[in-house]
Amino acid sequence: MKKRFHLIGLGCPKNQVDSELVWAQLSSQGWTAVDDAAEAELIVVNTCAFLTEAVEESLDTIVQAASFKTRGRCKKLVVAGCLPGRYSQQLLDDLQEVDLFVTPEKVGEISTLVESDLGKEGKLQGSPGRSFLMDADTPRANSLSAGAAYLKVAEGCSRKCSFCVIPSIRGPNRSRSIDDLVREAENLVRWGANELILVAQDLASWGTDLPGKPALHELVDELAVVPGLWWLRLMYLFPTKIPEQLLEVIARHETVLPYLDIPLQHVDPEVLKRMKRGGDPQTLLNFIGKIRKQVPGAVLRTSLMTGFPGETEQAFERLMGFVKEARFERLGVFAFSAEEGTEAASLDHQVPREVVLKRQRQLMDEQVAIAEEYHHGLVGRSMEVLVEGIGGEGEMIGRAWNQAPEVDGQTFMTGEAIIGEVVRVRITDADPYDLQGEIIE
């Protein structure tokens, strides 16, 4: 059998790193990647199962991939990641066309598993509640844009948010050591990454499980001085776990971008209590004010949720007022989904779906106006931009320092630059999502 594989990766940046590991594993074992699934003898679907919509997308993708067993060359179909971690037995019963299911615990062994004769009883590899923890020696590819790479610093999550299935799929928080992460960061920079994006399910809890319990600011302090690194970006910071030392490190190092992603989810005290998170509007506003004071020019991103069980009209108005006052530069809004197996799915006072979606639209409409005002305030300024590619009309495309990959907008530029490098751009126009400019340096 020819050894050609086609890999389909779904889900979040953490899962994207897993897909990169699978790609590198298979390539190191003599498999050749192909873009056309119809030409592949092996198809791997690395799935997401965080929300019902993600589960449905994963299932649709699997069915589509399975069709290449009859209309293509596929001899083996592998389903990996969070979907088998969440629904292992159901998948075994319902998806007979899949040859191998691999939970996150075994993602580091896929290249060996696909070559083995596991038999019918070995169709499921791994068990829910734990995930593979890579290190700097783990082979990996980089599927992010030119000049940037994710650095996954931990696996799993030890929090008990009532709406989230991740701890049951990927297990408790497990951190990688500072030395190991610095070594991988050095490798990624040598391979051409000017930007490293720190990701974890709960970045702020990094180190709490390691000997001596090192704090995140210690890791950031070490990574900030990796030779050749231009930008270091922090994503997924739990709001109550950002100490002053971390803000001081961000303010001190030019390498560390003053960009913080802090998913708040809500601000109403009763809703937050039911989410098992805690907090209130004034405390969170004070927290945001503290960041903006200690890190001048900080750009803040958050994620909010509408329609959580018990979210009254008053609670939603409180959330809306908070968004107007906090004025986040970046904001994503999720509609609550009652996920099977979570405590939130069985809570009383479930909000009608049409109300959930209406509130989501209202919140995003408010944020569009805030984002547009922020972007128009950048017109005339010069900003550092990482060049990622060339558009259809010959313009350069990239991301300014205040734009994280895949969740924020892009910057479109006139002029010439090398893909993967950081250039200085004068902003000439903007809309709520994207920037336009001319390369000046």
- Domains of the chain are 4-125 (3.40.50.12160), 148-376 (3.80.30.20), 382-439 (2.40.50.140)
Distance, CA of 409 to CA of 400 (rounded, Å): 9
How much is the average pLDDT of 210-234? 96
Q: Tell me how far apart the alpha carbons of residues 76 and 41 are, in angstroms, rounded to a whole number.
A: 7
Strand partners, 150: 197
The confidence score (pLDDT) of residue 243 equals: 86
CA distance linking residue 333 with residue 366, whole number of Å: 11
Sign of CA dihedral 84, 86, 91, 94: negative
* CA–CA separation, 6 and 4 (whole Å): 7
In this structure, the strands spanning 396-400 and 411-414 are antiparallel
Q: What is the pLDDT of residues 134-166, one digit of tens each?
A: 999 999 999 988 899 999 999 999 999 999 999
pLDDT at 352: 96
Taking the whole predicted model, whether its pTM rises above 0.75 is answered as yes
pLDDT value of residue 77: 95
Spell out a b/e string for 27-44, using b for 16 or more CB atoms within 10 Å of the CB, else e.
Answer: eeeebeebeebebbbbbb
Other CB atoms within a 10 A radius of the CB of residue 112 amount to 12
Cα gap 357→302, rounded to integer Å:
19
Alpha-carbon distance 5 to 80, whole Å?
A: 14
Crossing angle between the packed helical segments 313-326 and 281-294, to the nearest 10 degrees = 10
Residues 80-122: tens digit of each pLDDT:
999 999 988 888 888 989 999 999 999 999 999 998 877 666 7
Does residue 241 carry a pLDDT above 80?
Answer: no
E strand segments, 201-319:
231-234, 256-261, 299-306
CA atoms within 13 A on the CB side of 421: 9
Measure Cα distances from 125 to 3, 11, 45, 82, 99 in Å: 22, 21, 15, 13, 11
Count other Cβ atoms within 10 Å, centred on residue 255: 17
Task: Report how many helices (DSSP H) and strands (DSSP E) the chain contains, helices first.
Answer: 13, 19
Q: What is the pLDDT of residues 162-190, one digit of tens each?
A: 999 999 999 999 999 999 999 999 999 99
Percent of residues, the chain, with pLDDT higher than 70: 99
Q: Name 356's Cβ contacts closer than 8 Å, sequence gap at least 6.
A: 306, 307, 335, 336
Phi, psi angles (nearest 5°) of residue 57: -65, -40
* Average pLDDT of every residue of the chain: 93
Average pLDDT over residues 368-383: 95
| Interatomic CA distance for residues 435 and 412, integer angstroms | 6
Mean pLDDT of 340-350: 93
pLDDT band at residue 278, thresholds of 50, 70 and 90?
Answer: confident
**What is the chain's percent helix, strand, coil content, to nearest 5?**
40, 20, 40
Whole-number pLDDT of residue 164: 93
Residue-level pLDDT at 392: 83
For the chain, what is the radius of gyration of the CA atoms? 22
Residue-wise DSSP of 224-251? TT-TT--EEEE----GGG--HHHHHHHH
Distance, CA of 301 to CA of 109 (rounded, Å): 35
